[in-house]
Structure 1
């Protein structure tokens, strides 16, 4: 039986997490003990204490050494996350003590990439020693990272959450979508397009239940058309652009600013389709009631310079 959270918190020590990481890297208790500078009997005792703390075995013992089982791999993964978080904590503390920029973690959806790049460029001109982690993903996954405390801010939509009131919306930004394809797509020279003309095209779409996907489904429904069968699904900007480069028959919806950037490099071409629906605005979100760190506050001020009135 897995131990309770209070029991784990009261008994687990950071040095034990270091031992777990070393065991995963070395595969041997002897070599892991050397890596963390303890004796082999001490490592054996520590591993026993770790498994007792969690209430389960974490490794399979073989003649070749120790191999983590499914639960062990899970614990080791979180041990690495905790170790990484502590490294980030020290880095941020050093930045504060030395008067430097500190550290910032921000997540964003595809359409917010140009907005964030403009804001970060201005911010790093003022804070050149600021360390920034950028995570691009779907709104749902970004909100999960906000919940875990792994992001200071997320530029996405709270409407995909079952608990939208768990987040503070600090500013709102409009997003206009356009249809894009390879520059040599068969419809690239058209002066005007209707959705019915695209029924036979192959599509790259956003994952199910995401706002951009829902908007496209609504467009097809309002036009009395069947949604494209067998689409390619991705939330990655790079993957989307790569697919359009490889297959000249593909079409996709893309935020206008991202499309303008990509079109400037000759990677894609916008197609003249007028969408009936408006895309839901995205927001700069933080966890409700959580104060922003100084770097996050500075970034927010830069982002608000582009806020929709």
Structure 2
């Protein structure tokens, strides 16, 4: 096929915005609703883009649209272009007013309770007029936001090495532990077995997360199915309130419960589910000064958090 002529004036930014929305929404109706345009207008723009490229970008079906191999490839490039434009706008604003700026950070359970709040607090002492926007979501959803430039960086569990698209930087290691409220019938008991927890209500992360798959493998290794009585969420506020008000069991990063006497860990070993917490950023995109400032604050806070842990390990070794 001939090389598509993408710079002859026919390709518009609305085409790039549309293909991004179509890939996330999975339907023309959903994409049109998100972009506040009519369904015929969205369909017409899709046809225009496919004519420009000379290939089908989506397969139409009764339940929506599915990207073809061409659609998947072009969507990645479209998101990169949109991300660069977003970054350019922020950069101009920061150059115009060096004391102000905006950084958008995505986060999920790991890192959201201690690391990120402390880093933001430290940053705001130095740059009080810098705006920090925090977006919660599943790791998978946040990576899409990062790819499209709607998020500058993601703070949370690292589940893959760096690659040509994403740069991942470890900040500290953290264990994952089964947690209950302090008045739970099993609280304070030594030698609790996983079999004793199967019939209790549980909070599990969503099926799309790595932690969920690891919990499923843990239960499988011991010959158990997942608890039937469960809630699935990655919202820390929901998890915390359910833990405090019911006898539910949750698997959480250790720092989340370290300073809250109302929640305690159970002595069920989960050594296989330890993980690294760090930041993820786009490998192809230059960060704004505001985002760089937040990263420096994250690294400083993470170093301070790791130091007490190292001291405790040395003390335990002496004992």
Is residue 298 from structure 1 mapped to residue 293 from structure 2 by the alignment?
yes
Residue 222 (1) aligns with residue 225 (2): no
Distance 1:178 1:158 in 2: 17
Secondary structure of 2:275's counterpart equals: coil
Q: Tell me the C-alpha RMSD between the 2 structures.
A: 3.5
The residue that corresponds to 2:173 in the other structure is: 174
Structure 1 Cα separation of the partners of residues 206 and 91 of structure 2: 35
Contact between 2:153 and 2:280, CA under 8 Å: does it hold in 1?
yes
Return the alpha-carbon distance in structure 2 between the equivalents of residues 189 and 10 of structure 1.
59
Task: State the structure with more CA Rg.
Answer: 1
Between 1:182-191 and 1:286-295, the stretch displaced more is: 182-191
Distance in 1 (CA, whole Å) between partners of 2:181 and 2:14 is 58
> Take 1:179 and 1:10, find their aligned partners in 2: how far apart are those partners?
48
The counterpart of 1:9, out of the listed 5, 12, 16, is: 12
Deviates more, 1:217-226 or 1:125-134: 217-226
Contact 1:178 1:270 (C-alpha < 8 Å) held by counterparts: yes
CA displacement at 1:94 relative to structure 2: 4.5
1:281 alignment partner, one of 256, 260, 276: 276
What is the aligned length? 240
| CA–CA distance in structure 2, aligned partners of residues 233 and 89 of structure 1 | 38
1:65-76 maps to which residues of 2 (within 5 A)? none
1:14-64 deviation digits (Å, cap 9, x = unpaired)? xxxxxxxxxx9xxxxxxxxxxxxxxxxxxxxxx9xx7897489xxxxxxxx
Structure 1: distance between partners of 2:86 and 2:164 = 31
Q: Distance in 2 between matches of 1:158 and 1:271?
A: 24
Match of 2:115 in 1: 115
* Alignment-derived partner of residue 251 in structure 1: 249
The whole-number CA distance in structure 1 between the counterparts of 2:86 and 2:284 is 25
* Long gaps (5+) in structure 1: 13-23, 25-46, 57-85
Deviation at 1:87, TM superposition (A): 11
CA distance in structure 2 between the aligned counterparts of 1:215 and 1:11, rounded to whole angstroms: 40
Q: Which runs of 5+ in 2 are unaligned?
A: 1-5, 16-32, 48-84, 308-319
Distance 2:44 2:214 in 1: 49
Please report the TM-score for the alignment, with normalisation by the length of structure 1.
0.66
Q: List structure 1 segments (4+ residues) > 6 angstroms apart after TM superposition.
A: 50-53, 86-92
1:204, 1:251 within 8 Å by CA — same for their partners in 2? yes
Task: Note closer, same or farther for the CA distance 1:304–1:104 as it changes in structure 2 (3 Å cut).
Answer: same
Cα deviation digits, residues 177-196 of structure 1 (max 9, x gap): 12112222111231331212
With over 3 angstroms needed to count, the CA separation of the structure-2 counterparts of 1:211 and 1:55, relative to structure 1, is closer
CA contact (8 A) 1:171 1:304 kept: no
Structure 2 length as normaliser, TM-score?
Answer: 0.64
